[in-house]
Amino acid sequence: MDKEKSIVPNQIGYLVLKDDGAVLESGGELKNDEHSANVIMGLLNLTESIDESFMPNSSCERITIDYEEYYYSICMSNRRIYIVKISGSQNGGNTTTATASSSSSNSVYNDASDSAGAVLA
């Protein structure tokens, strides 16, 4: 996932985590960033506790955290968590937002669809 090998335009950093949160690979602005890995694992664990009556199929296939100057895209594939930090606002907005796409999977720790994994592989 190094920048020269990346298929993600404007990538400025990445983390690859095991499903328990251990860092397997990292690069760019997220090189050896254990703190970000821990924060993101907390966010993923939080998605598992969402009340089913509020959001059916609360498990997420992909989570995007959007800031004015960059955003994070987070997804699962092959029991790995892929986090990519990308420059430029995804939605063109000026506010900080977090969005979660729901999927039919039972857990955020299940493999994401091939299309989500291919974006970050």
- Hey, how many other C-beta atoms are within 10 angstroms of the C-beta on 14? 26
Whole-model pTM: value is: 0.66
Q: What is the largest CA-CA distance in the chain?
A: 44
pLDDT in tens, 7-21: 688 999 999 999 899
In eight-state DSSP terms, residue 3 is G
> CB of 120 within 8 A of CB of 77?
yes
pLDDT in tens, 64-119: 999 999 999 999 888 899 999 999 854 444 434 444 443 333 333 333 333 333 33
Domains in the chain (CATH in brackets) are: 3-107 (3.30.450.30)
Distances (CA, A) of 63 to 4, 5, 7, 87, 92: 24, 23, 19, 16, 17
pLDDT in tens, 27-78: 999 999 999 999 999 988 887 777 777 766 655 678 899 999 999 999 988 8
Q: How far apart are CA 58 and CA 32, in angstroms?
A: 30
Q: In this structure, is the dihedral angle defined by the CA atoms of residues 17, 20, 110 and 39, taken in order, positive or negative?
A: negative
Higher model confidence: residue 92 or residue 22? 22
